[in-house]
Amino acid sequence: MSMCTVEEVASSCDAIRFFQIYVYKRRDITAQLVQRAERSGYKAIVLTVDVPKLGRREADIKNKMVAPQLKNFEGLLSTQVVSDEGSNVKAFADSTFDASLSWKDVEWLRSITKLPILIKGVLTHEDAIKAVEAGAAGIVVSNHGARQLDYSPATMSVLEEIVHAVKGKVPVFVDGGVRRGTDIFKALALGAQAVLIGRPVVYGLAAKGETGVRRVTEMLKDELELTMALSGCPSIKDITRGHVITDRERLHSSL
């Protein structure tokens, strides 16, 4: 979707849309994108909080990746930067993303839009609590596809502690590593209200366009329903914590 504008995506179909945003050094750019999303009918703003700086993405450096000119930034910001570090994307991020990102920015976003703000990139119960205190309407447990920091935990391994931390005050979603319906089943059993899928959708889009995306979502839905049937769960509400066992529990039971 990098070559489509906020408005073009909004007019593409009747699906519910959330708009993922970064905080830029130029706050006016962030504000304009948020306001355009609100006018276009998006239902929530997803604030990405785990990229104050871009992680060391060695494949991008090796391939000398170049950031395309994003249509949303036309007339506002150019992605053309000069860099001798290999990755043009990193140079662009370093020059535009605001490394001073803090909880105060959540308050600022809330002041410029009526849309609910979801915080994406939470991996600890401490940050989950702070997100709720800052006024977040929801949390997305995410490690940014494991591309930001080596040895960051798998999202599924920290999901439950974050669910417990927020105590039902806001919905908790999980992002990263969802490849099968069984992954969705595990996330729901551990307390997530829903899952987000990234790479599988991109793979489907690259292979067969819109048809490929539809096929990916159908496969995940079919696999989830099969998992539910084989686990004795006739509905989503029948999926419980008792249907999964964590590595920690497995280790404890073996001692």
Catalytic residue numbers, as ranges: 144
Asked if 190 and 145 count as a contact pair (C-beta separation under 8 A), the reply is no
* Rounded Cα distance, 19 and 45, in Å: 5
Q: Nearest-CA neighbor of 106 among 92, 116, 97?
A: 116
Dihedral sign from CA coordinates of 205, 211, 214, 218: negative
Q: Which residues contact 201 (CB under 8 A, 6 or more apart)?
A: 213, 216, 217
| Encoded tokens for 56 | 């060391």
Residue with tokens 């800052």: 134
Tokens representing 255? 């001692």
Angle between helix axes 155-166 and 125-133 (nearest 10 degrees) is: 40
Instruction: For 79, list phi and psi in degrees, rounded to 5.
Output: -90, 5
Residues linked to residue 119 through DSSP beta bridges, in sequence order: 47, 139
- Distances 52 to 3, 22, 90, 134 between C-alpha atoms, Å: 23, 9, 12, 18
Residues with Cβ within 8 Å of 4's Cβ and at least 6 positions away in sequence, in order, are: 12, 71
